[in-house]
Structures are given as C-alpha cells and as structure tokens.
Amino acid sequence: MAMRVKRPELSPSELQRLATFTAEDWKRAIQRPEAATTQEEPPKAAWPWQRVPPPTNRGGNDWASWAAPQELEQIQLVMRDTDDVVQVAVRKPSHGQVAFIDCLRFTIGFETWHRTDKGTLLTDGQIVHECSAWMERIFGFGITRPAPARQFYEWGFELGDGCGYMAYGGKSQNGTMMIVIHGTGCAAAKDGWEKRLHAFFQWAARPCITRIDLAHDCFDGSYFNVDYADHAFDHGWWRMGGRMPWHERVGNWKRPDGSGRTLYIGRRKNGKCCRVYEKGRQLGDVHSEWVRVEVELKNDDRVIPVDALLDPSGYFLGAYDALCVIGPMLAPSRIATKQNATQITIERCVENVRISYGAYIRFLRQLAGDELTLDLIQRKDAVIPDRLKLPNEQRWGTPIHSGPTTSASVDTALFGVFGD
C-alpha cells in the first residue's frame, strides 16, 4: 500500500517566505519559529497572466531538522495520479546564482498550440510554424530545418544551428511534443530565456521537464577540482540519504598527461548523477585548470519542478553535500565561459593548422607572398567552421516561420522530405 504524504499546514505566502531563507535565517528560525511565518505576498509574474507559485513544498513542522542547508534532505516523497511514490527535487536556499542550465529537455501537450492561436491551426505544418515562432520569442531561435526523429517520436526538426531539436508524433508519445535545448543553445539563447520559458509553462498544456543539466565552472580549479571531488567521496560527502552512489574515474588518474580526467558520481539510469571533469583540457589546453561540475537530473521516478528554471543554483547545491563549497562563490559568468571556450578552441585550431599545413604555408609565402598565398588557400564562401562558431546569435539561424507561406506549402516543405 502506497504511503500518503501529509500536506503542509503552511499558507502559500509562508512557503514563499521559507523558500528564500538563507543559512542565517534558518538558524534564527530554530530559536524563533514564528519568525519564519511572516506574511508576505508572492511576487508578481513577469508576464501579466501569470502569478508565480510557491517555489517549494517541504511540509512538516520539525524546525530542528532544517538547522543547516547541508543537513537538509533534498528529496521529498509525493504522490502522482497513479499513487506511485516519486521523488521531488527540493531546492536549497542560496545567496546567489552559482549554477546555470547547460542542457534542458521538456515535453508539452500538442494541444498547447491550439491555445496560443485560439484554435485556428488546422495542419501539422501550421502547428510547427506556431511552435517555431514561440521558440524564437523565448530563446531567440526557432525551427530551421527537418531533422531525423528521436526518442521514438515520428517527426524531428532542428532548432537554430545545432542549438537543439523538436520532435513530435507517434502513437506511444501520448500526444506530446518534445523540445531539447543543447548546451550550445542554452549559451546562445537570449538573456532571460529561463523566465520566459517558466512563464510559458504556466499556461502550456501538460508541461514536464524530463531532463535538466545544471553546471558550475571553476576556471582556476582553486576551490573545486576532480581531486577534491574524489577525496570527498572517501569522506562520504556524496551520500544523500541512502547508500553511497556509484563512483567511476575516467582518464589517466595515475599519471595525468593533460588529456583530462573525469569523475562520475551516480548512474544516469537512476535519474541523478554528477560529472566533474577538466573542461579546459577536454577542449585541448593541456595546462588549463578549468573544471566543470555538472548535475544531471531526469524525471525517472522523480519530479523536476519548473521552478528549477528560476533557481538553478538552489537545485544544483541541493543535489549533493559535496557541492557546498561552491555556495559562497560568485555568480557564474556565461560571458567568461564563452570567452574561455572560444580562446581555447581558436588556439587548438591554429595549432592543428600549423602542424598539418605549416610547412606548405611557409613555402607558399616565400614563393608568392602573404596576400596571394591567402587568396589561394582560403575558401571563397563565407563559411564558419562549427567549432569556431560563437555561442551567440551566430547559432540562431533563420526560422521557418519568418517567411510567408501557405499551409499547403508548409506541409509539403516540412514533411515531404520524409515521404509518407
């Protein structure tokens, strides 16, 4: 018989207040529990029709169990419509944003697009156009071209220039549409996309986050690196409640050679895992100390609240106690991440050209001079190699909805490539 979880006896405004508590607030709340029940109206939504719901639902009256953030149980059991007991990621209070979303996968009901266009959409092609327009409003890029179907869906389409993809169709998919935003897409998206997507979810049909990757970059390895993460496992700091999670080391740990090392905590098939790896060395800089920490959450027997879009740091820090040392750090800089990745990639590109073609280029310069040599060896078309494309508007592409077309031509163009 499935257990029943008692609903909390706190009002929404009280829950809203608790969700914003810092570590010092928790300590004061233990001494004076009534201080945590200050009446406060929830903030207004960024969009007119939306009111932000309480970002967490912890429940219970045991104030002592909330003494310090690192002692909190971060997973709470709730009941689904099927009476299954599932896990919910409960956010941990943090002073500032120390993590960012590096990958996102979600599904929405296909009927969402009838709501956005008031039921006037008739064909699949028109619905794909409507989806493309909304993706551009939210992320800055829309659907650009057909792509192979994935995840057992019938149709697939690319978002931007390698920023992600959309898929829908298929009898086993329960009338849903899946949208995936890759790490490149998260970095290239317009600022504030998390808030816009959160607001979109408030009235979309059956929204569900099925995967979210939360990441933090330590560019100099001063306070978090693969060695610290490995030693933290020996001290039990990666345990969150039950047994110790899966531990796996990949790379040359005995004799580090600059190729990069990776530590895996937990198994992906279990719905929660962490990857700690030497990002700079992965990109080709053998002397880089840049370390990336990624927490991957999936909705396998757990619920990922949509509020993770607004507070990625809270859910990131709440995943494992070993991440507590990241909490006091400054907010992550996506600009710094882009600049570091681009600099390393360009340096690697120059090195490859020098090794592979340096002797030829030197001979041609002596024979024909710099200007003629460049005219002879460079391509005539203005193509930017994929590895050198910046994660910005260069990745947006031209969405299919930007040009005028009729519904008949839409269906022919979008679906004709796959045949019947």
The tens digit of pLDDT for each residue in 22-31 reads 555 544 544 4
Question: Which residue, among 101, 92, 56, 96, has the nearest Cα to 72 in the 3D structure?
Answer: 92
Element (H, E) at 105: strand 100-109
**What's the confidence (pLDDT) of residue 345?**
65
pLDDT higher than 70, residue 47: no
Q: What is the DSSP string of 160-193?
A: TTTTEEEEE--GGGTTEEEEEE-HHHHHHSPTTH
Structure token pair of residue 328:
């006091």
Q: H-type helices in 110-164, by residue range?
A: 112-116, 124-139
Give rounded-to-5 percent helix, strand, coil for the chain: 40, 20, 40
pLDDT higher than 60, residue 83: no
Structure token pair of residue 231:
């030693």
Residues 308, 92: Cα–Cα separation, whole Å: 11
> How would you classify the pairing of strands 143-147 and 155-159?
antiparallel
Residue owning tokens 């937990």: 266
pLDDT higher than 80, residue 212: yes
**What's the confidence (pLDDT) of residue 103?**
95
pLDDT tens digits, residue range 399-413? 665 655 434 344 444
pLDDT tens digits, residue range 251-282? 999 998 888 999 999 998 888 999 999 988 88
pLDDT band at 163 (very low <50, low <70, confident <90, very high): very high
Mean model confidence pLDDT for the chain: 73
Q: Which residues contact 30 (CB under 8 A, 6 or more apart)?
A: 63, 64, 66, 67
pLDDT tens digits, residue range 50-74? 333 333 333 333 322 222 232 223 3
pLDDT higher than 80, residue 357: yes
Element (H, E) at 29: helix 23-31
Residues 147, 167: Cα–Cα separation, whole Å: 9
**What's the confidence (pLDDT) of residue 375?**
82
Q: What is the DSSP string of 274-298?
A: EEEE-HHHHTT-TT---EEEEEEEE
Lowest mean pLDDT among 149-158, 175-184, 389-398: 389-398
Ramachandran quadrant class, 175 (left: phi over 0; alpha: psi -120 to 50; beta: rest): left
Could you give phi then psi for residue 292, rounded to 5 degrees?
A: -115, 140
Residues 176, 199: Cα–Cα separation, whole Å: 19
Say how many C-beta atoms besides its own lie within 10 A of residue 32's C-beta.
9
Where b means 16+ CB within 10 Å and e means fewer, 206-220 reads ebbbbbbbbbbbbbe
Most confident of the following: 38-47, 77-86, 155-164: 155-164
More confident: 344 or 155: 155
**What's the confidence (pLDDT) of residue 96?**
61
More confident: 254 or 385: 254
Q: Is 275 within 8 Å of 263 (Cβ atoms)?
A: yes
Say how many C-beta atoms besides its own lie within 10 A of residue 74's C-beta.
22
Could you give phi then psi for residue 62, rounded to 5 degrees?
A: -85, 90
Lowest mean pLDDT among 94-108, 113-127, 166-180: 113-127
For residue 103, the one-letter residue type is C
Structure token pair of residue 110:
């296909």
pLDDT tens digits, residue range 310-336? 989 888 988 888 998 887 754 444 444
Given strand 100-109, what is the order of strands in its sheet?
Answer: 143-147, 155-159, 164-168, 176-181, 100-109, 208-218, 291-298, 272-277, 262-265, 247-250
- pTM beyond 0.85: the answer is no
**What's the confidence (pLDDT) of residue 22?**
55
Question: Which residue, among 292, 277, 282, 268, has the nearest Cα to 215 in the 3D structure?
Answer: 292
